[in-house]
Amino acid sequence: MGELKNVIVGQSGGPTAVINSSLAGVFRTAKMNGAKNIYGMRHGIQGLLEEKCVNMSNYIKSELEIELLKRTPSSYLGSCRYKLPALGEDDSVYEKIFAILNKMEIDAFFYIGGNDSMDTIAKLSTYAEQIGSPIRFIGVPKTIDNDLAVTDHTPGFGSAAKFIASTVKELSRDALVYDASSVTVLEIMGRNAGWLTAATALARGEDCSGPDLILLPELPVDIDEVVEKIAELQKKKKSVMVAISEGAKGLDGRYLCETLASSREMIDAFGHRALTGSGRCIADKVAEELNCKTRAVEFSTLQRCASHIVARVDMTEAFQVGASAVMAALNGETGKMITLVRKMAEPYICVTDVYDVKKIANLEKKLPIEWIDKDNYWVTDDFIFYARPLIQAELYPFMIDGVPKHIVIPD
Amino acid sequence: MGELKNVIVGQSGGPTAVINSSLAGVFRTAKMNGAKNIYGMRHGIQGLLEEKCVNMSNYIKSELEIELLKRTPSSYLGSCRYKLPALGEDDSVYEKIFAILNKMEIDAFFYIGGNDSMDTIAKLSTYAEQIGSPIRFIGVPKTIDNDLAVTDHTPGFGSAAKFIASTVKELSRDALVYDASSVTVLEIMGRNAGWLTAATALARGEDCSGPDLILLPELPVDIDEVVEKIAELQKKKKSVMVAISEGAKGLDGRYLCETLASSREMIDAFGHRALTGSGRCIADKVAEELNCKTRAVEFSTLQRCASHIVARVDMTEAFQVGASAVMAALNGETGKMITLVRKMAEPYICVTDVYDVKKIANLEKKLPIEWIDKDNYWVTDDFIFYARPLIQAELYPFMIDGVPKHIVIPD
C-alpha cells in the first residue's frame, strides 16, 4: 500500500442528493490514511484552472461536520460543465493543469461526476502517462440519470428514484380526491435514458396503482395510441396518471415537446427559454382530445436535490465509492473509475471495484429494451427487481428549527 | 357530558398532508367515547346526498391503522367542492340531507375543511335550529392556505410551510452549484392570501439566505421595480431567488400571469388550460430584461400532499382539532368551529377552543399588512416569530420497501 501526501477532489456536472456523501468518503478516507492536505476544487476543473481551491480541513473539522456534509444536497464544492479539449489538439490546458497540480504537490486527483467527468479522468490520466507524471487520476461515479456504463448503477440514482416513487404515491392520493375524471401527467428528468421515469413504477403496490402509462425516451411514443389508451383506462378508473420522460420522442423521432409546443414557443418573443416540457404537451393533447381535467406536474430540479428523502442504501454507496477511490489511488491505480458490482440480487449485496475509465467515458447506458413492456407502456418485473433494492431505507437530514441543516463554504 | 350514538364525518375542499390526522382524531375520540357507528361520507356532502357512506370501523380496525391514517396524505374519504344553496332558496337539499341523517340516526356531524366547509356547517346548524333537529354540527379547520378567521392558524399550513421552507433550502443549494449568474423563481400556492409564499422566508438562516424577494398577493407588485432589484442583487450575488404567489397582482390589479402571458395563451388552441403561472412570467421578464439564465419552479400539488415531510406540531394539532370536535359535540355544542388558540408564544403553547362558525365562514384571513416589509419585498420578524413554531419537529411516514405506506379505502 502506497502513501498519499496531498490529494485534490472536485465535483462536476449536475448535482445529486448524495454527491457530498462521495466527497465525505474521499475526505474521511484520505484523512484516515494520512493525507496531509485534502484540497477541494471550487467548481471543478474550471476552478482548478483559476487556482480556486480550498483546503477542506479548514472547513470540515469534526465527525459531526462530515455527517452534515453527507446530508447536504448539491455540490458542496460547486460544479462546472467544462470539457477538456482532445489530447494533441490544445495541450496548453493540460500543461497548465499539471503545473498547478505539481505546484500543489498533488499525488492523487479525484473527480466525482458523470460521463463528462469520466472523460476528464480518461484524458488527464492519458496525458499523465504521456509526460511520465506519477499523479493518479480516479473517477467517482455520480448521476441521478443512472446512465454510466459498466457500473451496476450510479450513486444518486437511488435517492432520486426514491423521491420520485414516493412523490408519485402522494400525488396519486391527491389525484383521487375528487369524484371526477382527471388525467395527471408527470414529467421526469432524463433526456436520453429512461431510468428515472421508469422508477415511477416503484410506486405501484397494494395501496397504489402507480402510473398507468410510462413514456420513455428509449422507444418512440405513438401519441394517438397513448390518448386512446387513456380513454380506455378512463372507462375503468377516475384518475389516470401518465409518467413521461422530458426526452420522450414521437414516431418521427423528434422530441414530443418540440412537436406539440412549437407554435406556442415560436410567438414567444423572449427567446431565452427552453422548450416547454413534454408533460405539458401530453396534458394539452389529452385535454383537447378527451375534454377532461388534466394537470401537468414538472418534478423539476427537486428530484436531484431532495435530500430530505434519500435512500440510505444510496447514501452509503455514495460514501463507499468515494472511499474506494482513495483506496484505489493508494494501491497505485490510475485512469480508473470506481464501479458498483452487485454480488447478489436477493438479498442485495453490492461491492465496489475499479474499471478502466476509457472504456466507460462517453458511453450512455440506456434502459434495456427487454425491460420495457412496449405494448402496455410499462416496465417489466426485471426492472422492478433491479431498482427496488436501490431505494431501500432512509437517512434523514439533521433538522434544526424545522428545516434541514446544511454545511456550506463561506463566501 | 352527553352521549353519542352514531356520528358522521366528511372531508371537503383541497387536501393537505395532515387532513387525515383530523379524521383520525374524530374517529378515535368518538370510538373511545362510546359512539356506536362512525360513518364517513365519501366525497363530502356530495357523497352524502347520494348516500355514499362507509362505516369507518370496517376499514380502520387497529391502533396501527389509525397511525397509518394519520400518515396518509390527501382526503382518505375523498373530497368535494359543493356549496349548499342559501337557506330559504332551495330547502329541498336540506330536507334530503336531514332525511338521510335521521335515517342513519346521526347525533353529530363533523366536517373537516376550509371556508366553504364552514359555510356548510353554518347553514346546516342554522337549518337544524329552524326545524328543531337535535343533530349537532361541528366544523374542523383545515387548509394549507391558513386563511381561516379567528383561529391562530389552520392545521395543514404548518406542514405545507415546512415542505416549502425545506425545499427552498435544497433548491438554494442547487441554484448555487455553477459559477454563473442565475435567477430562480419559485411559484407557491395561495391565490389571495400570501401565508405559504411568506413561509419561504423560513428558509433563511446561517446556512441559507433564502429567497431574496417575496412577492405576495396582498400588495401589488411593481414588476419593473422587481427587475431593478434583481439587477441590483446580481451585483452582489450569483444566484438570486424570488418567491412569488400564484395570485400575485401587478400595479393595475390584474393577476401577473394574465398580464404577461396573455399573448402566449391566446394562440393556444387547446383552451382547457389554466393560465401559465406567475413564476414563469417573472422568469420570462427577467430573461428578457437582464439576459441571464432563469428557471421557474412550480411547487405544484406536492406542497399540499408531501406527507413525507410534515411538521409534527401540525400533525398533532390536526389530530387535536378532530378530537376536540367530538368533545364539543359531547358537550352539546353545535354551529361551532374548533379553533386553535396560542396561549404562549415562546415557548409555544397552543390549545383548542370553540367559536361560532357563522362568524368565521366566508371570511378570508390574509397576511397582515404590517407583517410585510414592502420596501424590501420581504416579511417582518413578526411573521417569522409567528410561523416558526408551526413547522417544528418531524413525523415520518411508515416506510415499506422504500416508499411511504398509505391506507386506502378499497374500490
| Residue A269 reports pLDDT greater than 70 | no
Given the residues A145, A147, A212, A314, the one annotated as active site: A145
Q: Which residue of B has its CA nearest to A283?
A: B273
pTM for the model stands at 0.96
- Tens-place pLDDT, residues A24-66: 999 999 999 999 999 999 999 999 999 999 999 999 999 999 9
Banded model confidence at residue B260, pLDDT cuts 50, 70, 90: low
Banded model confidence at residue B276, pLDDT cuts 50, 70, 90: low
Beta bridge partners of B239: B182
Average pLDDT over residues A66-85: 96
Interface probe, candidates B170, B236, B290, B346, chain A, greatest A C-beta count within 10 A: B170
Residues of B in contact with A408 (CB under 8 A): 173, 207-208
Catalytic annotation, residues of B: 145
- Quote the pLDDT of residue B183: 97
Mean pLDDT is lowest, of A3-17, A274-288, A329-343, for: A274-288
A194 CA to chain B: closest CA distance, Å? 20
| Residue A275 reports pLDDT greater than 80 | no
The Cα B141–Cα B139 span in angstroms is 6
CB contact under 8 A, A166 and B308: yes
One-letter identity of residue A312:
R
A3 CA to chain B: closest CA distance, Å? 32
Q: Which residue of B has its CA nearest to A394?
A: B402
Banded model confidence at residue B274, pLDDT cuts 50, 70, 90: low
CB atoms closer than 10 angstroms to residue B220: 16
Q: String of b and e for A297-330 (b: at least 16 CB within 10 Å)?
A: bbbbbbbbbbbbbbbbbbbbbbbbbbbbbbbbbb
Q: Strand A213-215: give its sheet, edge to edge.
A: A213-215, A239-245, A182-188, A293-298
Give CB contacts under 8 A, 24+ apart, made by B327-332: B327/B29, B327/B33, B328/B136, B328/B138, B328/B354, B329/B2, B329/B4, B329/B7, B329/B107, B329/B108, B329/B110, B329/B136, B329/B138, B330/B1, B330/B2, B330/B3, B330/B4, B330/B33, B331/B1, B331/B2, B332/B2, B332/B136
Percent of chain A with pLDDT over 70: 96
CB contact under 8 A, B178 and A306: no
CB contact under 8 A, B171 and A205: no
Residues 6+ apart with CB under 8 A from B347: none
B132 near B147, Cβ under 8 Å?
no
Mean pLDDT is lowest, of A258-272, A368-382, B151-165, for: A258-272
B236 CA to chain A: closest CA distance, Å? 11
CB contact under 8 A, A178 and B43: yes
Interface probe, candidates B308, B403, B411, chain A, greatest A C-beta count within 10 A: B403
- Omega within 30 of 0 (cis) for the link into B155: no
Q: String of b and e for A91-107 (b: at least 16 CB within 10 Å)?
A: eebbeebbebbeeeebb
Q: String of b and e for B121-138 (b: at least 16 CB within 10 Å)?
A: bbbbbbbbeeeebebbbb
- Tens-place pLDDT, residues B299-340: 988 999 999 999 999 999 999 999 999 999 999 999 999 999
- CA A241, A247, A252, A253 torsion: positive or negative? negative
The residue among B259 and B229 whose pLDDT is bigger is B229
Catalytic residue list contains A411: no
Q: String of b and e for A233-266 (b: at least 16 CB within 10 Å)?
A: bbeeebbbbbbbbbbbbbeeeebbbbbbbeebbe
Average pLDDT over residues A376-396: 98
- Tens-place pLDDT, residues A129-182: 999 999 999 999 999 999 999 999 999 999 999 999 999 999 999 999 999 999
Residues of B in contact with A176 (CB under 8 A): 74, 78
Banded model confidence at residue A266, pLDDT cuts 50, 70, 90: very low
CB contact under 8 A, A81 and B304: no
DSSP, residue by residue, B29-45: HHHHTT-SEEEEETTHH
CB atoms closer than 10 angstroms to residue A224: 11
B42, B287, B406 member nearest A272 (Cβ): B287
CB atoms closer than 10 angstroms to residue B214: 27
B221 CA to chain A: closest CA distance, Å? 21
- Quote the pLDDT of residue B281: 87
The helix (H) or strand (E) run that includes residue B26 is helix B19-32
- Quote the pLDDT of residue B277: 80
Beta bridge partners of B355: B337
A273, A394, A408 member nearest B207 (Cβ): A408
Mean pLDDT is lowest, of A93-107, A249-263, B1-15, B282-296, for: A249-263
Residue-averaged pLDDT of chain A = 94
Give the number of A-B residue pairs with CB atoms closer than 8 Å.
214
Average pLDDT over residues B68-96: 95
- Quote the pLDDT of residue B159: 98
Residues of B in contact with A301 (CB under 8 A): 171, 174, 295, 297
Average pLDDT over residues B193-198: 97
Residues of A in contact with B199 (CB under 8 A): none
B47, B304, B311 member nearest A174 (Cβ): B304
Residues 6+ apart with CB under 8 A from B171: A301, A302, A305, B184, B186, B241, B297
- Tens-place pLDDT, residues B28-48: 999 999 999 999 999 999 999
Residues of A in contact with B72 (CB under 8 A): 173
The residue among B272 and B275 whose pLDDT is bigger is B275
| The total number of residues written for chain A in this structure | 411
Q: Which residue of B has its CA nearest to A170?
A: B305
Q: Which residue of B has its CA nearest to A402?
A: B392
Banded model confidence at residue B264, pLDDT cuts 50, 70, 90: very low
Q: Is A411 exposed, middle or buried (0-12, 13-18, 19+ CB in 10 A)?
A: exposed
